[in-house]
A = this chain, B = another copy of it.
Amino acid sequence: MDLDALAKAHPDHWSKATAIRALTLDAVAAANSGHSGMPMGMADVATVLFEKHLKFDAANPLWPDRDRFILSAGHGSMLIYSLLHLVGDAQFPIEELKNFRQMGARTAGHPENFLADAIETTTGPLGQGIANSVGFAMAEEIQRATYGKKVVDHHTYVIAGDGCLMEGVSQEAITLAGRHKLSKLIVLWDNNDITIDGPVTLSDRTDQVGRFVAAGWHVIEIDGHDPEEIDAALTEARKSDKPTMIACKTHIALGHAAQDTSKGHGALTDAEQMADAKAAYGWTAGPFEIPAEIKSAWEEIGKRGAEERRAWEERFDAMPRSKRETFNRALALDAPKKLSATIKAFKKQMSEAAPKLATRASSEKVLEVVNPIMAETVGGSADLTGSNNTKTADLGVFDVDNRAGRYVYWGIREHGMAAAMNGMALHGGVRPYGGTFMCFTDYARPSMRLAALMKIPTVFVMTHDSIGLGEDGPTHQPVEHLAISRATPNTYVFRPADTVETAEAWEIALTSKKTPSVLSLTRQGLPTVRKDHKNNNMVEKGAYVLADAEGKRQVILIASGSEVSVALEARELLQEEGIGVRVVSMPCMELFAAQDEAYRKRILPGGAVRVGIEAGVRLGWDRWLLGERGKFGKADFVGMDSFGASAPAEELFEKFGITARNVADRAKALL
């Protein structure tokens, strides 16, 4: 590349973009780790985006109607850190950049949403950002339809790399965006022909333009180093009635000895080569120094949106008070005041009626009372609407001609659904939940982990949660999936035993602000076990005594979900033989673990044998069966230690020994 020509053609632009490149080189050198090439390659695109298009106010990074900027190629984190420092974001003084990738810094190796206001989403696992962006754009559409264009009218911009586009989730994302004509979504592809292993062509020769067109996108191809082309493309994209992908042909590590090579992807720390690159840029300032003129030009960019934001505030304040309150309440993730009473009334009614229901149907009943009073919920399913029971009559279907619709037909895209739900939650103002079969936790898993890491309350409705699914067989029967979600930090895994517990689980999920929830729900009908109404949310305790021993307590049966009624039956069998049995329902291990020791000991005292019952693997159960006691009693577990099989559900429970008779026998064997 002829850098001189670039610099000469657009000197003001060049100096601003070069500031990003210089800061990137300096920070990576200081950390002796990181990814230099991407920020150096995309500096021109990002500069034009921030200078001329992105609606933001650096002093108010949380302004609700800001454009969203998503760095899907998260390894290029110095791009966003440099930008935020340059525009004057108070959370990014130069010290933060000097501390790049160090303990406690906001400038983590990959951008972390919980470390800074202006970081919209955590990226790094490739493809996640672009898939989140679909949810951001959907949330904007829903909010715009709800509150009007004067209050909600912003774009979602994404920088994505070759890695993002190779990941399968990107296909789920772009086909969703195309299907729904999410015209305010604009993806800037860093088309640099390089991956870590070498040229992109080593592993891929996809015609990305053709692929995006096939998905219903508008596509523009530009020179990613020409500010005029970048500006024109962004202007054109904002006018399109489709989502737009701008293919930006760039040079990774522009101007460095490693330019256009896979080495340029990583940490460029050689002092001499750094000096050469800076010289080639015409950059004479010292490490982490930005000439005052350039810094002030950037800070002007940071203030560009201030007036627009003030105007927005006026428009917002002009809205009726109730609308403003709902908007702010949803944004703050506060539940409506009515929720608690509604759940209580529902529970009372269910305890009295004591229906036999699959908990997926219980869940639908809960949603039927919740959705009408909680306008921020957005439901959906990955093509299993009738099976997941996620759709209630009032929601309306989100579509091109019904942007206020609150139900999304996600199609057969579990991963894209989960990632887009995360995007919705991150955008704010909506509270997403979505369903699939629990076994397909596997497909959604990368985004489920990120929900936990990002501290957002996405709700995953996972039905058909055991061999109780029956004939579809082991590919569809979860066995290890409760353990998988429980192994993940900051995740509530709820396995309710009946309609009442399902309502309690939903109440926690819908009031959670920082923790995602997994609702593990049955396909098969279950009796109501909570027939005595309690105002208190018992699931909140994680575990509680459902039926206590008559006579001397010799056995404690601990169960979750569909196995709670098995435990109650086993208790009957044992009590008939004069053996005192306590049944503990344990719908949420994480919440039980969070109780104080006194409560835990009250529920699970020593001096009795324990049997855990759950139609899943034992992993995670030993703590409750073997631990937490001074005096060790014997314990056993009735569950699964292999994959399931294809047969009617009742036969499978027999075959795998998950029956009241077997539980009773195993308990007796311990005495």
Contact = CB atoms under 8 A, between A and B. Distances in A.
Interface of A: 31, 33-34, 74-75, 101-105, 108-110, 112, 122-126, 162-163, 166-172, 175-176, 178-179, 195-198, 201-211, 213-216, 381, 383-387, 409-413, 415-416, 439-440, 442-443, 445-446, 449-450, 452-453, 470-476, 479-480, 483-484, 486-490, 617-620, 622-623, 626-627, 631-632, 635, 640-643, 645-648, 651-652, 655
22 contacts: A75-B472, A104-B647, A105-B646, A108-B474, A124-B472, A163-B383, A167-B172, A168-B168, A168-B415, A170-B171, A175-B205, A205-B216, A209-B214, A210-B213, A453-B474, A483-B483, A489-B642, A489-B643, A490-B643, A622-B622, A622-B626, A623-B626
Given A411-B166, A487-B483, A179 B204 contact: yes
A197 B651 contact: no
A74 B647 contact: no
A211 B215 contact: yes
A72 B472 CA distance: 15
Interface centre among A31, A124, A384, A416 (most CB of B within 10 A): A124
Given A483-B483, A655-B103, A383 B206 contact: no
Contacts of A627: 622, 626, 635
Contacts of A411: 166, 195, 197, 202-204
Contacts of A166: 172, 175, 383, 411-413
A214 B646 CA distance: 39
Nearest to A455: B643
A442 B643 CA distance: 20
Nearest to A651: B103
A242 to B, nearest CB: 11
Nearest to A474: B453
A643 B450 CA distance: 11
Contacts of A110: 472-473, 475-476, 646
A450 B439 CA distance: 11
A101 B470 CA distance: 9
A329 B31 CA distance: 51
A287 to B, nearest CB: 19
Contacts of A216: 205-207
A101 B412 contact: no
B446 A443 contact: yes
Nearest to A74: B475
B470 A480 contact: no
A168 B163 contact: no
A443 B179 contact: no
Interface centre among A74, A445, A474 (most CB of B within 10 A): A474
B473 A112 contact: yes
Given A487-B483, A617-B487, A643-B489, A471 B211 contact: no
Contacts of A442: 125, 445-446, 449
Contact of A487 (B105, B178, B470, B487): B487
A601 to B, nearest CB: 16
Nearest to A624: B622
Given A125-B439, A214-B206, A490-B643, A384 B196 contact: yes
A558 to B, nearest CB: 14
A104 B645 CA distance: 8
A39 to B, nearest CB: 16
Contacts of A108: 473-474, 645-646
A191 to B, nearest CB: 15
B125 A475 contact: yes
A440 B169 CA distance: 13
A635 B484 CA distance: 24
Contacts of A126: 412
A385 B195 CA distance: 11
Given A126-B412, A178-B205, A487-B480, A646 B167 contact: no
Contacts of A387: 196
Contacts of A179: 201, 203-206
B381 A473 contact: no
Contacts of A651: 103
A628 to B, nearest CB: 9
Nearest to A201: B179
A133 to B, nearest CB: 15
A383 B215 contact: no
A442 B172 CA distance: 17
Contacts of A655: 103
Given A211-B215, A409-B202, A619-B619, A475 B487 contact: no
Contact of A208 (B31, B201, B214): B214
Nearest to A165: B412
Given A124-B473, A383-B195, A443 B619 contact: no
A652 B103 CA distance: 8
Given A168-B171, A411-B204, A479 B489 contact: yes
Contacts of A450: 475
Contacts of A488: 480
A321 B594 CA distance: 66
Given A124-B475, A210-B211, 10 more contacts: A108-B474, A109-B471, A109-B476, A112-B646, A167-B172, A168-B171, A168-B172, A211-B215, A445-B445, A483-B487
